[in-house]
């Protein structure tokens, strides 16, 4: 998203005045080669990939140089905030200068009355403001903007062009309220019952269909100026259960390459997106670790799928695949060490212990400075925060 666009939106707001449950039902906390070419609805946003997984230096050095060590690591976390308490969200940003916030739950206080413009005023660097608004069980704006159908329903009843238009309309509504990132679309493949862990959050069990509709949804968000986040790499659709309740296992990597990973091929065609990495144990890849904490998973995404953008973890605080094993500070550290650019936890709470642990890790060499700077480059560029 362009910094100019973000700035214009917040100025206009001031002048005017991974998923958890949406408006109805229960849903998970946030994210949680196609056999035919993408439709015309999604082909116009492609960008050629660069040749290296290390982000090119693009003028961010002066911005990074002006940050304290604590501010640098703070830019790499996305923290859940209480949606009914705008003052607390602004205080968090003012005191800790976190790089992003996540708005879950059903309350809409942060999405009304220019509340997010005041949160941005507290930031030295623009804050990414994320929601998980997929449609169906997982949506945030339904009480304000109306209901979105589930991904499965979209693919059943709408063309890719119609989905792109719908996503653009929704994205414009998000941006007008100050939201800059949507943890959608879901590229998982499944035909399991609608209410299962992924269920109707998936467009289709057919890789070509799912890819086409995910491309269309991502294109619509991009058209609106909202950053899409493709999830859940490397594929949650055929996992053994729900990572909210414990670590789940997928089919072996060789099997995923032939099916679940197909929507992630030619990933540059999605345009300027982020990718969410799931808490998935993949035989032949992660060997008992969640992918979100596994260097091998990030290397797969960078090297085999040529992804150059921001990687964000699935929720590190409210999902037992992680919380049964690690405290939030340790989980965040392990994710950044593994290759994540943004570590997400929806449970919020006291951020200071997390930043303390990260500062300690950088000072002691556990978290290399080069790893921090590479992640910072991607995160700052995704927010157009380098001038």
Question: 5 by DSSP, 3-state: which?
Answer: helix
- Is 244 an active-site residue? yes
Instruction: Using alpha carbons, select from 2, 68, 167 the residue that is nearest to residue 376.
Output: 68
Among the listed residues 232, 236, 244, 279, the single catalytic one is 244
Asked if residue 192 lies in contact with residue 198, where contact means CB atoms within 8 angstroms, the answer is yes
Number of H helices, E strands in the chain: 15, 10
For residue 259, the number of C-alpha atoms closer than 13 Å in the C-beta half-sphere is: 18
Q: Residues, the chain, total?
A: 387
Q: How far apart, in whole angstroms, are the C-alpha atoms of residue 306 and residue 264?
A: 10
Listed in sequence order, the DSSP H helices in the chain are 3-16, 61-65, 69-74, 86-96, 115-121, 142-145, 151-157, 160-177, 207-224, 253-258, 295-299, 320-323, 328-338, 352-364, 369-382
- Beta bridge partner(s), residue 135: 138
Residue 255 falls in the annotated catalytic set:
no
Whether the Cβ atoms of residue 214 and residue 263 lie closer than 8 Å to each other: yes
Give strand ranges (E) for 179-303: 181-182, 227-233, 248-249, 274-277, 280-281
DSSP category for residue 300: I
Q: Considering 133, 186, 260, 314, which one is annotated as catalytic? A: 314
Asked whether the beta carbons of 39 and 215 are under 8 A apart, the reply is yes
Residues involved in catalysis: 244, 314
């Amino acid at each position: 998203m362009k910094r100019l666009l973000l700035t214009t939106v917040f100025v206009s707001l001031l002048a005017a005045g991974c998923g958890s449950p949406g408006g109805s039902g229960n849903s998970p906390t946030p994210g949680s080669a196609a056999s035919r070419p993408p439709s015309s609805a999604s082909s116009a946003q492609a960008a050629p990939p660069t040749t290296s997984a290390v982000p090119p230096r693009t003028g961010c050095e002066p911005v990074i140089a002006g940050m304290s060590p604590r501010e640098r690591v703070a830019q790499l976390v996305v923290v859940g905030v209480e949606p009914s308490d705008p003052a607390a969200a602004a205080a968090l940003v003012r005191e800790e200068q976190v790089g992003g916030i996540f708005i879950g739950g059903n309350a809409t206080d942060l999405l009304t009355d220019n509340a997010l413009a005041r949160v941005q005023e507290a930031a030295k660097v623009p804050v990414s403001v994320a929601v998980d608004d997929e449609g169906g069980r997982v949506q945030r704006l339904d009480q304000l903007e109306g209901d979105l159908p589930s991904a499965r329903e979209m693919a059943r009843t709408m063309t890719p062009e119609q989905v792109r238009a719908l996503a653009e309309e929704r994205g414009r509504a998000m941006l007008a309220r100050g939201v800059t990132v949507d943890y959608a679309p879901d590229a998982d493949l499944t035909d399991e019952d609608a209410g299962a862990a992924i269920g109707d959050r998936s467009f289709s069990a057919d890789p070509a269909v799912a890819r086409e509709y995910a491309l269309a949804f991502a294109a619509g968000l991009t058209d609106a100026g909202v950053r899409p986040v493709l999830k859940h790499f490397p594929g949650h659709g055929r996992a053994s259960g729900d990572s909210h309740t414990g670590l789940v296992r997928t089919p072996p990597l060789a099997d995923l390459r032939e099916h679940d990973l197909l929507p992630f091929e030619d990933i540059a065609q999605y345009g300027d997106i982020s990718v969410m990495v799931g808490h998935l144990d993949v035989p032949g890849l992660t060997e008992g670790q969640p992918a979100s904490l596994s260097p091998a998973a990030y290397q797969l995404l960078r090297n085999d799928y040529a992804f150059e953008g921001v990687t964000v973890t699935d929720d590190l605080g409210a999902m037992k695949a992680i919380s049964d094993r690690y405290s939030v500070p340790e989980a965040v550290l392990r994710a950044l060490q593994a290759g994540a650019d943004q570590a997400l936890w929806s449970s919020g709470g006291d951020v200071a212990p997390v930043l303390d642990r990260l500062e300690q890790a950088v000072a002691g060499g556990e978290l290399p400075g080069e790893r921090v700077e590479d992640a910072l480059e991607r995160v700052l560029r995704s927010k157009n925060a380098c001038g």
